Amino acid sequence: MERSVTNDDIKEYYAAANTGYGFYSLFGEVFSPEKLRRIYILKGGPGCGKSTLMRKVSEKAVKLGYAVQNYFCSSSPTSLDGVIIPALSVAVLDGTAPHTVDARIPGVCESIVNLGEAWDIDAVEKIGEDIRFLVSEKSSAYKRAYAYLESCVSAEKIINECRNTYLLEKKLCKAVERICVKIRNGNSDGKINYVFTDCICGSGNLHLDTFEKMAETRYFIRDYGDIAPVFFDVLALELTVRGHDITVAKNPLNPDTYCGIYIDGCGISFTVHNDDFCRILDRKGLPYKIMNLARFCDSEKFKQNKIYYRYADKARKNLMQGAASELALAASLHEKIESLYYGITDYSVVENMTDKLIEKIFA
């Protein structure tokens, strides 16, 4: 039986990110066997159809009227890394590197689906040297990208030192408290669910507007002097103390900080200001509030440290461009690797495995 599915039923996130601390994965938390009844772990190399299989599972779920959570690849944002169907407590995910996943409760919860069975092994050996070369080149590009991102974090540390001189923290905390007083207290232990709604890739920083689409009340935070990470940290603490379960978006450069919060059950989001999205909301007549963080900055002290802030901010932006360039190179090399595997994969076998898995999930 089919029913219509709304935007609220299709949630999009990233479960991993390229960060200043290297590749950072939330797979263990998002696809936990303690939370899910059945997990299908896909194995097989590039180009064997893992993302296509997951997309078909997601589309079938939506067609049958199930809400889904789609987790996209942070390095190739058009590809899927995983799909969760909450109503069935079922997940299908990519278990290959860099987010290598193996069964923790084999057979009972997790099942391995090996799409590598569709390869022509003899043909693989013939293109082995080409694959080795491209994999090595891609690995080098990622190493350079992570070196750039690590340097971004170093530049950010200088910015944070500057921020400590001009941030009006007490005033910020009181403002956050006033916001939370307007929201009825929650009735839970104040749990935090972590996701990524942003990723750093070859195109720069990409944002998924999942929180904004889900919310009925939207707060857009206009950053000033890199005060936003402190705001989100204080807000997350205040909300959990007041008994709210929240979904927190980690910052893809520094996952120890946050860049978005959604209050589960209240339909309220707090995200970084986005001009394009606000224009869309204006056209649809949907309400939102903009909170300018400049009011939590001591302007005189900011002037005294402005030169250091600008140097560090410029360095961070330049380093980010370097990282994006290397990630774009890595993505192009990955496409070349996939194209080699295309020629030695029997996709009729993959389609057969896909049909059987979909039948099993929705039996």
CB contact at 8 A, 172 and 238: no
CB contact at 8 A, 222 and 273: yes
Q: How far apart are CA 306 and CA 51, in angstroms?
A: 46
Return the pLDDT at 1: 46
Start-to-end C-alpha separation, the chain: 13
Q: Is the peptide bond prior to 98 cis by the omega test (within 30 degrees of 0)? A: yes
The alpha carbon torsion through 85, 90, 92, 96 (nearest 10 deg) reads: 130
pTM score = 0.94
pLDDT tens for the chain, residues 1 to 363: 455 555 568 999 999 999 999 999 999 999 999 999 999 999 998 999 999 999 999 999 999 999 999 999 999 999 999 999 999 999 999 999 888 888 888 888 999 999 999 999 888 889 999 999 999 999 999 999 999 999 999 999 999 999 999 999 999 999 999 999 999 888 888 999 999 999 999 999 999 999 999 999 999 999 999 999 999 999 999 999 999 999 999 999 999 999 999 999 899 999 999 898 899 999 989 999 999 999 999 999 999 999 999 999 999 999 999 999 999 999 999 999 999 999 999 999 999 999 999 999 998
The alpha carbon torsion through 226, 230, 236, 239 (nearest 10 deg) reads: -110
Return the pLDDT at 5: 52
Return the pLDDT at 6: 56
Return the pLDDT at 7: 52
Which DSSP string do the residues of 233-292 spell out, in sequence order?
Answer: HHHHHHHHHTT--EEEEEPSS-TTSEEEEEETTTTEEEEE--HHHHHHHHHHT---EEEE
Task: Report the DSSP beta bridge partners of residue 326.
Answer: none
Q: What residue segments make up the domains of the chain, in order of their start?
A: 7-119+348-361, 168-297
For 205, list phi and psi in degrees, rounded to 5: -95, 115
